[in-house]
């Protein structure tokens, strides 16, 4: 039975009323030799029943336990799926863009990455959907680093992965960030978060397992197909509903995501129209999929969160208020959780606002991602004339660096203040 539901409270009230009637009826009917202990026991039962009722009212208010199994610590209901529960040989990702490798090599000559269309296999969730993957120029370089970090990007509702390309020009943004050394070369995965109706990126009650698809299958499929750094080498970023997805999934899977960023997101589940069907009236499911509840009751210490909102955003719920509420909850209930709030005094729930906000968010998350070791330095062969002169080895060792050496990017990441960078993007 749901401990947070009205039926359970009505049952307790009925039991309390029956207990009071029984105590009142039997109070003067006990035999004389049993009267004192029996009446003491009745008083204890009445006080215990009052304590149970008070505890249930407190539990309904704070949402501590959703059922008896949760109370006894034996329930796995509404708990996030295991982040690494898909074996590498089970994962599958198909690249659907023809000639993508040749296109990537041509783009890499101009230090540009490419977007390719892919299909994620979704072995654990049973969901298979298309999406986009950004591959940086370094991926196609013969002298590339061995492995890459990954940024998983979540679109809003309505919307799809194509919004990151057509509206936000994500390939150009990532090319610029990488070329300037603000972030290391990264792979970006952009999955489709829903079909037909918003999924809020959650495992629905007796429905589609979208959290499992996005936080378990997609990273496993990317890792199986492309060279990805091991461990917590993923970061999550999304706008609008995608911001909710990024924070919620990252809090549920701190062993997978090293950082998360929300741009104009919200932090209470069931906010989008039509999403109440995902939870089928389960208050526990709503709470466990609400970052605000999760921070308040689970006191997480990871991953670090970046929250962006703009004063001109008049959508419901109010993103400024949502951000302030979550930040206050973190300070009170999860003081070890690192959080950064970026507030823009203008701008709205628009593409231009998010396009300006993405680079500072990436800059902020970059230091939390693991860095690949530098590739081994390969010296050019010594000229034959110098190699023949065994009597002068010093000259052979002091030859100048040639142009065949790759140009090295800066690996120092010192992002400027996030709000100021967004403001400059708007020309303030």
Lowest-pLDDT range of 90-104, 198-212, 269-283, 300-314:
269-283
Question: pLDDT digits over 376-422, tens only?
Answer: 555 566 565 444 454 444 444 444 443 333 333 444 444 445 555 55
Whether residue 110 is found in the same domain as residue 20: no
Domain of 348, in residue numbers: 88-368
Structure-derived torsion over alpha carbons of residues 283, 287, 290, 291, reported in degrees to the nearest 10: 170
* Residue 69: pLDDT over 90: no
* Residue 374: pLDDT over 60: no
* Residue 130: pLDDT over 80: yes
Beta strands 257-263 and 186-191 are unpaired
Report for 68-72, 163-167, 399-403: range of highest mean pLDDT: 163-167
Confidence of residue 424 (pLDDT cuts 50, 70, 90): low
Confidence of residue 126 (pLDDT cuts 50, 70, 90): very high
At 277 the pLDDT is: 84
- As a three-state string, the secondary structure of the chain is CECCCHHHHHHHHHHHHHHHHHHHHHCCCCCHHHHHHHHHHHHHHHHHHHHHHHHHHHHHHHCCCCEHHHHHCCCCCCCCCCCCCCCHHHCCEEECCCCHHHHHHHHHCCCCCEEEEEEECCCCCCCCEEEEEEECHHHHCCCCCCCEEEEEEECCCCCCCHHHHHCCCHHHHHHHHHHCCCCCCEEEEEECCCECECCCCCECCCCCEHHHHHHHHHHHHHHHHCCECCCCCEEEEEECHHHHHHHHHHHHCCCCEEEEEEECCCCCCCCCCCHHHHCCCCHHHHHHCCHHHHHHHHCCCCCCEEEEEECCCCCCCCHHHHHHHHHHHHHHHCCCCCEEEEEECCCCCCHHHHHHHHHHHHHHHHHHCCCCCCCCCCCCCCCHHHHCCCCCHHHHHCCCCCCCCCCCCCCCCCCCCHHHHHHHHCCC
Whether residue 133 is found in the same domain as residue 21: no
CA separation for the pair 368, 361 (Å, rounded): 12
Q: What is the mean pLDDT of residues 171-189?
A: 97
Whether residue 64 is found in the same domain as residue 164: no
Whether residue 302 is found in the same domain as residue 342: yes
Q: pTM for the full model?
A: 0.75
Domain boundary among the residues 341, 368, 395 is at 368
* Residue 67: pLDDT over 50: yes
At 391 the pLDDT is: 46
* Residue 233: pLDDT over 50: yes
* Residue 282: pLDDT over 50: yes
Share of the chain above pLDDT 70, in %: 80
The CATH number of the domain where 109 resides is what?
Answer: 3.40.50.1820
Report the mean per-residue pLDDT for the chain: 85
At 420 the pLDDT is: 52
Whether residue 229 is found in the same domain as residue 97: yes
Q: What is the mean pLDDT of residues 107-111?
A: 95
Domain count of the fold of the chain: 2
Angle (CA) 234 239 242, round 5°: 65
Whether residue 38 is found in the same domain as residue 92: no
* Residue 226: pLDDT over 70: yes
At 407 the pLDDT is: 39
Residue 424 domain-assigned (yes or no): no
Whether residue 186 is found in the same domain as residue 43: no
Structure-derived torsion over alpha carbons of residues 246, 209, 330, 319, reported in degrees to the nearest 10: 50
At 261 the pLDDT is: 98
Lowest-pLDDT range of 289-293, 316-320, 409-413, 417-421:
409-413
* Residue 75: pLDDT over 50: no
Confidence of residue 214 (pLDDT cuts 50, 70, 90): very high
Residue 384 domain-assigned (yes or no): no
Domain boundary among the residues 319, 345, 368 is at 368
Residue 356 domain-assigned (yes or no): yes
Confidence of residue 28 (pLDDT cuts 50, 70, 90): confident
Residue 403 domain-assigned (yes or no): no
Q: What is the mean pLDDT of residues 86-103?
A: 94
Pairwise pLDDT comparison (63 vs 152), residue with the higher score: 152
At 303 the pLDDT is: 97
Angle (CA) 328 151 203, round 5°: 70
Q: Which residues contact 142 (CB under 8 A, 6 or more apart)?
A: none
Check: CB of residue 288 under 8 Å from CB of residue 265.
no
Whether residue 61 is found in the same domain as residue 135: no
Q: What is the mean pLDDT of residues 298-320?
A: 90
Report for 319-323, 356-360, 379-383: range of highest mean pLDDT: 356-360
Share of the chain above pLDDT 90, in %: 58
Whether residue 23 is found in the same domain as residue 103: no
At 398 the pLDDT is: 41
CA separation for the pair 363, 62 (Å, rounded): 37
At 96 the pLDDT is: 97
Check: CB of residue 406 under 8 Å from CB of residue 141.
yes
Whether residue 109 is found in the same domain as residue 49: no
At 298 the pLDDT is: 93
Lowest-pLDDT range of 98-112, 298-312, 401-415:
401-415
Pairwise pLDDT comparison (340 vs 384), residue with the higher score: 340
Q: What is the mean pLDDT of residues 248-260?
A: 97
Residue 141 domain-assigned (yes or no): yes
């Amino acid at each position: 039975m749901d401990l947070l539901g009205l039926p359970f409270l009505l049952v307790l009230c009925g039991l309390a009323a029956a207990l009071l009637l029984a105590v009142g009826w039997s109070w003067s009917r006990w035999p004389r030799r049993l009267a004192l202990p029996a009446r003491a026991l009745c008083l204890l039962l009445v006080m215990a029943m009052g304590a149970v009722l008070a505890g249930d009212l407190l539990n309904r208010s704070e949402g501590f336990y959703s059922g008896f199994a949760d109370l006894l610590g034996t329930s796995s209901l509404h708990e996030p799926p295991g982040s690494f529960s898909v074996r590498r040989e089970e994962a599958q990702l198909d690249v659907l863009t023809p000639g993508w490798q040749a296109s990537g090599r041509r783009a890499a000559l101009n230090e540009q990455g490419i977007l390719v269309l892919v299909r994620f296999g979704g072995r654990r969730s049973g969901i298979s959907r298309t999406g986009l993957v950004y591959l940086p120029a370094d991926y196609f370089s013969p002298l590339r680093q061995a492995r890459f970090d990954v940024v998983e990007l979540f679109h809003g509702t309505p919307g799809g992965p194509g919004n990151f390309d057509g509206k936000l020009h994500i390939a150009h943004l990532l090319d610029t960030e990488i070329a300037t050394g603000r972030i290391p070369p990264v792979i970006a995965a952009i999955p489709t978060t829903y079909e037909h109706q918003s999924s809020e990126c959650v495992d629905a009650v007796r429905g589609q397992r979208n959290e499992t698809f996005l936080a378990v299958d997609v990273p496993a499929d990317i890792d199986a197909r492309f060279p990805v750094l091991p461990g917590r080498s993923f970061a999550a970023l999304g706008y609008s509903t995608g911001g909710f997805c990024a924070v919620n999934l990252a809090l549920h899977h701190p062993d997978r995501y090293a950082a998360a960023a929300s741009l104009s997101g919200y932090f209470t589940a069931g906010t989008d129209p039509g999403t109440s069907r995902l939870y089928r009236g389960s208050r526990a499911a709503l709470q466990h999929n609400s970052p605000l509840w999760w921070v308040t009751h689970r006191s997480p210490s990871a991953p670090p969160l970046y929250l962006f909102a703009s004063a001109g955003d008049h959508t419901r719920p109010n993103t400024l208020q949502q951000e302030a509420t979550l930040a206050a909850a973190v300070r009170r209930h999860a003081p070890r959780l690192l959080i950064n709030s970026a507030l823009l005094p203008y701008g709205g729930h628009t593409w231009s606002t998010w396009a300006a906000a993405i680079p500072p968010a990436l800059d902020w998350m970059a230091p939390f991602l693991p860095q690949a070791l530098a590739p081994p330095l390969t010296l050019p062969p010594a000229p034959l004339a110098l190699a023949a002169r065994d009597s002068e080895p010093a000259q052979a060792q002091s030859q100048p660096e040639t142009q065949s050496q790759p140009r090295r990017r800066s690996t120092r990441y010192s992002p400027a203040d996030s709000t100021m960078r967004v403001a400059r993007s708007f020309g303030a």
